[in-house]
Chain A
Amino acid sequence: GNSVTQMEGPVTLSEEAFLTINCTYTATGYPSLFWYVQYPGEGLQLLLKATKADDKGSNKGFEATYRKETTSFHLEKGSVQVSDSAVYFCALSGSGGYQKVTFGTGTKLQVIP
């Protein structure tokens, strides 16, 4: 079956530091890949997505590139802010029909001033 593995947190960074959260996946066919963000006390929000190999998803300064050869979709941001503190989830959706979304275990990011 499909699975998503992401780095364990928590990740603690100083403001303006560079962020990388690693994500790798296992899936058959051609899945779509996503990053979701969950701020404290809220539901998840879609942050960015990529639907085919070599696509780069980007939003709010975050980026991730769909790498089929390494089955990875690492999340990056050049300069984090305190307001980026949240839990980040990597996810995939299989191809064909109504496929359920498989989530990683989440990585908590804490940005300190």
Chain B
Amino acid sequence: DTAVSQTPKYLVTQMGNDKSIKCEQNLGHDTMYWYKQDSKKFLKIMFSYNNKELIINETVPNRFSPKSPDKAHLNLHINSLELGDSAVYFCASSQGRERAGELFFGEGSRLTVL
């Protein structure tokens, strides 16, 4: 059983389109995250939810909108895609304040905007 699973794994789309990436974790964790990894492997946090409540919201264009229907799911919707949005997006989860740094990552969703 995959602990943190994301879909789709690959996404190729045109500029201006809207797309969504879904994430689910079966670890029973209470906190979930979205990270963006650029072509140089630099990893940047975008959002974090704890029990469906937004707790971290970095400086991200408002074209990006996360949504957490329950603590096991965190989705990312991106409007009006731009070339610079091309990256690998990773979902992650962790459990509790004391172990917030122990992240479990999904395999990533590679987004290519043409």
Contact = CB atoms under 8 A, between A and B. Distances in A.
Nearest to A103: B43
A89 B43 contact: yes
Interface stretch (A11-19, A44-52, A58-66, A68-76): A44-52
Interface string B1-24: 000100000000000000000000
A32 B107 CA distance: 24
A25 interface: no
Contacts of B103: 36, 44, 46, 101
B40 A105 contact: yes
Nearest to B44: A103
Interface in B82-106: 90, 92, 97, 100-106
A37 B23 CA distance: 21
Contacts of B68: none
B101 A98 contact: no
B112 to A, nearest CB: 15
Contacts of A23: none
B6 to A, nearest CB: 9
Contacts of A101: 45, 100-101, 103
Contacts of B90: 43-44
A21 interface: no
Interface residues of A, number: 25
B31 interface: yes
Leading 6 A-B pairs by shortest Cβ distance:
A93-B101, A43-B105, A106-B41, A103-B43, A44-B105, A32-B101
Given A43-B108, A101-B100, 13 more contacts: A32-B101, A41-B107, A44-B43, A44-B90, A44-B103, A49-B101, A91-B101, A92-B101, A93-B100, A93-B101, A98-B50, A100-B48, A108-B41
16 contacts: A38-B41, A43-B107, A44-B43, A44-B90, A44-B105, A45-B105, A46-B104, A97-B97, A98-B31, A98-B100, A100-B56, A100-B58, A101-B101, A103-B43, A105-B40, A106-B41
